[in-house]
Amino acid sequence: MVSHSIIEPLSSIWWIGLGSSLIIIVLALLFFKNLSSALKAKSSKLLSTSFILVYLITTITAIQSGSWNIHDNLPLHLCRISFFISIIVLLTQKQWMYEWTLYLAIPSGFHSMLTPELTMGWNNWYLFDYYFVHGALIFVPLYLTIVMGMRARANAWKHTFYRLQLAVLLILPLNFVIDSNYMYLKAKPIVENPLLIGDWPFYILFLELIVLIHILIIHKLSPKK
């Protein structure tokens, strides 16, 4: 397995990564908001294509360096799952995928940028990829809401939470089969995070509660159909 690297909170690189990501997200939303309807449709395809390109470059980089392996590089972390859903929903505007990104991608992307753990190791591209991917998780649901006018359904928060449990039930045993730690269901991440309380499996139950709280807050604040 690849040695994971962390970015120390409040370090200069932490501030640069977080600050630049949030600024780019705001500027991009302002830019796309003022486009015509025809250009907005084209921009969705362009965004999706750029996300695919970044993923391919990251995968090729890992393969060429000899660091690619099934323990670290399958797209089975919550953020990577949400990243792929973001790619698809930009093209299809599938309702349940939008709701997944709204309720799950935003908090997972934001918390990942607050306590960064680079699961593929450390180099300049992986650092860019980390902030690109997690920034995209925040950007896409905001883009779909603000720019494209999508709205969540009244009971979407419940269905999204149920879908997350399905992913947990599939990935948890897989971690023990292939000796991986996707979605951090086998061991805690190495970052210092006050939300990681207790040992396995109790920290997972607490994280489930935290996720549900985030979902309910977003549900309360977001516009509905």
Global pTM exceeds 0.85: yes
Q: Which structure tokens are listed for 66?
A: 């000899």
pLDDT of 186 over the 90 cut: yes
CB 79 within 8 A of CB 109: yes
Give per-residue pLDDT as tens, 27-48.
999 999 999 888 998 999 999 9
Of the candidates 114, 120, 36, which has an alpha carbon nearest to the alpha carbon of residue 77? 120
Give per-residue pLDDT as tens, 43-84.
999 999 999 999 999 999 999 988 899 998 999 999 999 999
CB 86 within 8 A of CB 98: no
Give per-residue pLDDT as tens, 139-183.
999 999 999 999 999 999 999 999 999 999 999 999 999 999 999
Q: Which residues pair with 117 in a beta bridge?
A: 6
Residues 6+ apart with CB under 8 A from 144: 89, 90, 93, 98, 101, 102, 150
| DSSP symbol at 152 | B
Angstrom CA distances, 188 to 14, 181, 191, 195, 210, stand at 21, 9, 8, 11, 15
> Domain span at residue 128?
5-221
Structure confidence at residue 1 (pLDDT): 64
Structure confidence at residue 3 (pLDDT): 75
CA dihedral defined by 186, 74, 78, 157, rounded to 10 degrees?
A: -120
Domain tally, the chain = 1
